[in-house]
Amino acid sequence: MQISSRFTIAVHVLICIETFKKDMKTTSDFLASSVNVNPVVIRRILQQLKKAGIVEVKRGSGGADLARDPADITLLDVYTAVESVEEGRLFHFHENPNPQCPVGSNIHNILDDRLKRIQDAMEDQMRSVTIRDVMEDACRIISAP
């Protein structure tokens, strides 16, 4: 299991939008140059973030802005916006465990509760970190000698 790069790209994009909003239009081309990906990737992520109410996107070369204060956007908000988690479940079981095997026939009973607790813990941690928190860390790192 691995969370796709869409999540970290989305966080990168949000930090860029907020960091550069006073100096320039944060277009998909500009954001793509910072992330070093194709602008199409950025446009798709911006659309997902827009649908979630995290960004506002102006057509053409108008650029993007945050729709909410960075202190009101959590990493969980971003994750939920850009990651495809089927049925709200982070972990996916293999389709057909052998019902004749004592492990195969009980694998859900063995793992379901533990995996749910793991996912809940991850989401709690993501819920406790805002884009503002990440930006503050970025400012410290960027301005360090």
CA nearest 52: which of 29, 85, 76, 18?
Answer: 76
3-state secondary structure 41-79: HHHHHHHHHHHCCCEEEECCCCEEEECCCHHHCEHHHHH
CATH number for 41: 1.10.10.10
**Total domain count, the chain:** 1
Using one digit for the tens of pLDDT, what is the confidence trace for 97-138? 999 999 999 998 899 899 999 999 999 999 999 999 999 998
State which residues form the domain around 119. 5-143
Measure the CA angle with vertex 53, ends 44 and 123; round to 5°: 90
pTM, to two decimals: 0.86
Q: What is the pLDDT of residues 82-104, one digit of tens each?
A: 987 766 778 877 878 999 999 99
